[in-house]
Structure 1
Amino acid sequence: MSWGSYYRGDGTAREVELAPPPPWRSFPHRPLGQKFRPPEGLPDAVNAALSLRRPLLVTGAPGSGKSTVIESVAHELALGPVLRWHITSRSTLEDALYRYDVLGRIHEQQLRTAAGHGETVDDIAPFLRLGPLGTALVPATLPRALLIDEIDKSDLDLPSDLLDVLERGEYTILELERHKAEQVAVRMWDSDQTYTVERGKVQCTEFPFIVMTSNAERDFPPAFLRRCIRFQMPEPDEETLREVVQAHLDMEVPDEGPVATLVRGFVTRLRAGDNLAIDQLLSAVFVLSGDDAPQGTRHDDLVALLLRELSRG
């Protein structure tokens, strides 16, 4: 594939031309869903979630392809661009539904007053924006695809806070419920398009297709789990990894040779309990499978560098 000794550490300035990056590091990103190979049982779990209008909770190790599931489904079913809500310990349900810049609104009114414009225009729309979950619940002819990524990193209360919205498929923008204008056009999360909110209420017509990912770092309340279709990503075997390498790098994996050795060694380490991600294997294959790839001790050192266990610093 591609290896280059661009940096030598000799302090000499030189012009270099970098080789093309791996496909998953090319920008803008190409759609990952077209390359995804679902494990056995996942299509049934997806279809159950679609049929029941329930979220799909996908659990598995980092790099096992959890977040790519929704890309694959959205691509095959033509659901449009995927909305993304990346969870941290500071994430709240309110931020996922809509954002209100109250300070910006106050500041704008003060500026108009100071400029002598007389009576201020009470236009709240520029200071509101629907969040990823709020946008997914906007009425539509097809379900929107929403990824709630790494929900196990959330505050302990967030899964429970989600329950009412996931059950009812609606929410209220309190600032608009109290506003004198009955209709306000609010920008959506992933574009500058607007949705006209009436009396502060947003209610979906098609429940969104929601995929929530978890690294199994915590337990969830039973009330939350029973509202989800759950799927555990299996540990990949050698045949699966060969298919992944072929799909992402457009290359055949022979029964023997450097790439086969990398795949086989990766599987052995997984079964021994090492915490590794599939994208590490893809990186190692990309760097070490070309004609100019380092050999001998340098090759072994690069394997150790690229396939370093994730649980170690």
Structure 2
Amino acid sequence: MTDNDAAWYVYRGEGSQHDGFDRLPPPPPWREFDGEVLSGSEEDLRSVGEVRPGTATRAETYRPEKSVVEKVNAALYLRRPLLVTGQPGTGKSTLAYSIAWELGLGPVLSWSITSRSSLQDSLYRYDAVGRLQEANLRRLSSEPGPPTTSVGPFVTLGPLGTALVARHRPRVLLIDEFDKGDIDLANDLLNVLEEGQFTIPELAREEGDDPVPLTTDDGATTLVRGGRVRARAFPIIIITSNGERVFPPAFLRRCQEVTIPLPGEAKLKEIVRTQLGPETLAATEQLCTEFATLRDASGGLPTDLLLNAAFLYVAGSEEDQGKRMMARRLIREARSGQS
């Protein structure tokens, strides 16, 4: 790949942070959004830390294939979600952390899909019972003022709702294992992905046009006017799938698709080197070769299995042969479980 080939890249996947996001050109006319950026929508992001320790290390050491980098950049330019498929352990979810870390877009918002996941919960949650209890307490107390309470404190934006808050720079949202969801979930998402907005009826009915502070999914606070959340910079949405379901054509048309391939032996060794260091790679090169051979014969093993085995192989005393045999057993037993 020449420098000219990569000149258009905003995301590079090379393990270094930079301000290249500011070089991203304006969106195509059909993907422009005009959400109002209210004071407080971006400043709160600075105080939000990563929920899971070690995510920065995962992001920094991640090395995607050229085909993946190209599709990420296409999604960035077109302001479209990226649908990432591949076998478990190929780094589908880590891609989201890599993008956010490299481009300085703050902590990743995460929506982990289960069979009970609904679009409503991902947008916002309204605690009607809590509001009623608060109103009753006020009615029974001697505090002056009306017994009713504002809706705002009882509305919490979900991960997708938080991602759609109007900002000058987008947030990164990981929608993980999307094929685990209900069969209608993809169709439910279509309008939000196309329009980049949604309405909170409870706010729209009662709060008027004044900005209302809401708690976001990551614990920060943002302002929403008129009960409508509308993006300005469309969020960077990474949707992962294990390839267990065929999605509707209308949903696929709104996404950029990419498949992360199983890493070859050379790539596996590079992963061990970046994650655990060159000394570990030097001690476990044969283990990497064995893993690649067994994985190809079994039809696929997760890459994190190799990392676990390599870590165990070099941990503690180098003279402990029993520990090294156990590291090899981890791989062999996993292979037998696949067959």
The TM-score normalised by the length of structure 1 is 0.84
* Percent sequence identity over aligned pairs: 45
Question: In the TM superposition, what is the alpha-carbon distance from 1:296 to its structure 2 partner?
Answer: 5.1
C-alpha distance in structure 2 between counterparts of 1:300 and 1:165, whole Å: 52
Q: Counterpart of 1:146 in 2: which secondary structure? A: strand
Question: In the TM superposition, what is the alpha-carbon distance from 1:253 to its structure 2 partner?
Answer: 6.1
2:241 to 195, 210, 214: 214
Aligned to 1:287: 312
Question: In the TM superposition, what is the alpha-carbon distance from 1:194 to its structure 2 partner?
Answer: 2.1
Aligned to 2:162: 135
Q: Counterpart of 1:178 in 2: which secondary structure? A: helix
Structure 1 unpaired stretches of 5+ = 1-26
C-alpha distance in structure 1 between counterparts of 2:87 and 2:271, whole Å: 16
- Residue type of the alignment partner of 2:214: V
C-alpha distance in structure 1 between counterparts of 2:98 and 2:263, whole Å: 18
Verify: 1:122 aligned to 2:122, yes or no.
Answer: no
C-alpha distance in structure 2 between counterparts of 1:157 and 1:130, whole Å: 22
1:267 to 278, 292, 298: 292
Counterpart contact for 1:125–1:186, Cα < 8 Å: yes
Question: In the TM superposition, what is the alpha-carbon distance from 1:302 to its structure 2 partner?
Answer: 4.0
Structure 1 window deviating more from structure 2 (281-290 vs 300-309): it is 300-309
Counterpart contact for 1:97–1:135, Cα < 8 Å: yes
The TM-score normalised by the length of structure 2 is 0.78
After the TM superposition, which residues 96-115 of structure 1 pair with which residues of structure 2 at under 5 Å, given as runs? 96-115=122-141
Cα RMSD of the aligned pairs, angstroms, is: 2.2
Q: Is the helix fraction higher in 1 or 2? A: 2
Question: In the TM superposition, what is the alpha-carbon distance from 1:110 to its structure 2 partner?
Answer: 1.6
C-alpha distance in structure 2 between counterparts of 1:259 and 1:231, whole Å: 31
C-alpha distance in structure 2 between counterparts of 1:180 and 1:200, whole Å: 8
Verify: 1:163 aligned to 2:190, yes or no.
Answer: yes
- Structure 1 49/278 Cα, relative in aligned 2: closer, same or farther at 3 Å? same
Aligned to 1:13: none
Verify: 1:193 aligned to 2:221, yes or no.
Answer: yes
C-alpha distance in structure 1 between counterparts of 2:283 and 2:299, whole Å: 21
Aligned to 1:35: 61
Question: In the TM superposition, what is the alpha-carbon distance from 1:147 to its structure 2 partner?
Answer: 0.6
- Structure 1 310/179 Cα, relative in aligned 2: closer, same or farther at 3 Å? farther
C-alpha distance in structure 1 between counterparts of 2:200 and 2:104, whole Å: 29
Counterpart contact for 1:113–1:120, Cα < 8 Å: yes
Aligned to 1:5: none
C-alpha distance in structure 2 between counterparts of 1:150 and 1:229, whole Å: 16
Residue deviations 1:118-167 (CA, integer Å, cap 9, x gap): 63132111111111111111111111111111101111111110000000
Counterpart contact for 1:49–1:229, Cα < 8 Å: yes
Question: In the TM superposition, what is the alpha-carbon distance from 1:273 to its structure 2 partner?
Answer: 2.8
- Residue type of the alignment partner of 1:237: G
- Structure 1 157/285 Cα, relative in aligned 2: closer, same or farther at 3 Å? same
Aligned to 1:46: 72
Question: In the TM superposition, what is the alpha-carbon distance from 1:275 to its structure 2 partner?
Answer: 3.9
Q: Counterpart of 1:265 in 2: which secondary structure? A: helix
C-alpha distance in structure 2 between counterparts of 1:41 and 1:30, whole Å: 23
Verify: 1:70 aligned to 2:99, yes or no.
Answer: no
2:174 to 147, 161, 164: 147
C-alpha distance in structure 2 between counterparts of 1:111 and 1:145, whole Å: 40
Structure 2 unpaired stretches of 5+ = 1-51
- Residue type of the alignment partner of 2:288: V
C-alpha distance in structure 1 between counterparts of 2:150 and 2:332, whole Å: 54
- Residue type of the alignment partner of 1:240: K
Aligned to 1:88: 114
Counterpart contact for 1:242–1:253, Cα < 8 Å: no
Structure 1 window deviating more from structure 2 (29-38 vs 157-166): it is 29-38
- Residue type of the alignment partner of 1:267: A
